[in-house]
Chain A
């Protein structure tokens, strides 16, 4: 068993280094707050009579 100290990574560093998580965040966040919310706003405009 090695006696070398194990370097602790901060949570932020682990998030920054996880490229698949970064990709997921990049797809999900704007999809929810920009696209889906925006589409719902347009879709819920009452139809003219």
Chain B
């Protein structure tokens, strides 16, 4: 059904009941489709990296390996993720606020700039003289259009942020919502704030680096570059954290009718992210000699823990809100009936919950521990680091984005998901694969396997090193996990593209798939032992004990490596 207003045409979506601006819908669709296309490219490059890292296969020659690693890093860590994030912020600001999108012309400029920028950087890498990896540390020098592409991409993303901000202003002016912003939109707003800091930091360092590449600047100080680049490189991953947590809240509401256990606590946790999350950038610099321990410890071991507290709050309140909703809906027996009876066959839920568990237990815990200056010495510049961020960005963010996509296909594209049987298993395949990769390869990193190097044995070099058989076994199992994840990712791309192209059209009279609020007429006496969500409390305690144990295991290991008289 389409409703035309004086300013913009809307339609009421039968599946979600959302009032959707058609211009915003087109923009969300194009950003989401481009994201999936780039996920396919990034995933293919990731497969080549995995098959080269797999000791028995060692597929690519060295030059091709570094090229594939650069493509994989930039496309999978930045291009796919940021295109999808733009789709998310446009979707939540228009559909959830029932508002038209601000300056659609500028929004299309965002699309074009990001496409052109990504294409320029991609071409520069494929030309073979820009295999500088995602970090592109000077004095490694890429072709000028490598940096220019990144700058254009970032400018496009910044325009997307301004369009989102303008939409919030319009929604407030036109009173499309009352009171505070809905929590999910609030989370997206926090992600956009971090994105603006991220892009500004990127501009500060990438513009001079571009000028250096064309010969207008004599040199770039490598240490200065590292400090500022990480305000861009790591903060871009913090945008992901905030966005996927907003998606967790969103999916909990859509599937269960769950409401946050305390809106104010959740919003305060988002405020902690605003104040403290970006200090995590320092953990890339903990072994840099020119920076003082005061700066390092202040940023990581003090300030960043406030952001960790915020993550623990979200990790408690999201499953807690699901538990409360499930108990109100009648699943009130024992500690975990609410979880056993959850819709595990629905990829929207399973993807979201696997993202939550994987991000907490794999990506989150290891991120906290590696941010301790002393422990960081064990794993710095080892393959532990990429394994860790695959736990956050792939196991956490990508899986959450996949889960939301299964909701957006029928609601925005108005198509049924093809091959529902395979779609049911896809999040499991991707989630299990990526977590096997992350956990096992982190083990290899802890034992010293270096990151980035084409050949971990340095065969034929002066520093050749023969590893024990355990390392080759771990790298093999880890890369099998990576291949499984790539298969899961390819399946996702196929299902999404297939659904859009030849999925059955959703009928106009389709039944609403969004759960009603769980507290409307549900069970009132819920929980046990004075807790409304006792199962979540137990799970949160398991996470906390795991974090403490892992922390002390690492210190114990450090003590065995570095004995003090």
Which of chain A's residues have a CB closer than 8 A to the CB of B285?
38
Total A-B residue contacts, Cβ distance less than 8 Å? 85
Q: Which of B193, B221, B224, B292 contacts A23 (CB 8 A)?
A: B193
B268 within 8 A of A: yes
CB-based nearest A residue for B303: A33
Q: Which residue of B lies closest to A16 (CB)?
A: B267
Question: Which residue of chain A is the closest to B223 with respect to CB atoms?
Answer: A42
For chain A, residues 1 to 49, give those with C-beta under 8 angstroms from any C-beta of chain B: 12-13, 15-17, 19, 22-23, 25-27, 29-31, 33-35, 37-39, 41-43, 45
Known: A33-B279, A34-B281. A26 touches B291 (CB 8 A): no
Bound form: Cα–Cα A25–B270 in Å:
12
CA distance A44 to B456 in the complex (A): 36
Question: With contacts A35-B227, A38-B291 known, is A23 near B196, CB below 8 A?
Answer: yes
B299, CB-defined interface residue at 8 Å: yes
Whole-angstrom distance between the Cβ of B69 and the nearest chain A Cβ: 27
Main SS class of interface, A: helix
- Say yes or no: A22 contacts B193, CB within 8 Å: yes
User: Which residues of the partner chain A approach B274 to less than 8 Å between Cβ atoms?
Assistant: 22, 25-26, 29
B264 touches A33 (CB 8 A): no
B271 contacts which of A15, A30, A33, A42 (Cβ < 8 Å)? A15
> B201 is contacted by which of A15, A23, A35 (Cβ under 8 Å)?
A35
Contacts of A35 in B (CB 8 A): 201, 227-228, 231
Contacts of B190 in A (CB 8 A): 22, 26
Instruction: Find the A residue at minimum CB distance from B228.
Output: A35
- Tell me the minimal C-beta distance from B73 to chain A in angstroms: 22
Pull 28 A–B residue pairs with CB atoms less than 8 Å apart, ordered by A.
A12-B264, A12-B268, A17-B180, A19-B165, A22-B190, A22-B193, A22-B274, A26-B190, A26-B193, A27-B193, A29-B274, A30-B197, A30-B231, A30-B278, A31-B197, A34-B231, A34-B282, A34-B299, A35-B201, A35-B227, A35-B228, A37-B295, A38-B227, A38-B228, A38-B295, A41-B291, A41-B292, A45-B290
Beyond the given pairs A19-B181, A23-B196, A42-B221, 12 more chain A to chain B contacts, judged by CB atoms under 8 angstroms and listed by A's residue number, are A15-B271, A16-B264, A25-B274, A29-B275, A29-B276, A33-B303, A41-B291, A41-B292, A42-B223, A42-B227, A42-B291, A43-B224
**Which residues in A have some Cβ–Cβ distance to B below 8 Å?**
12-13, 15-17, 19, 22-23, 25-27, 29-31, 33-35, 37-39, 41-43, 45
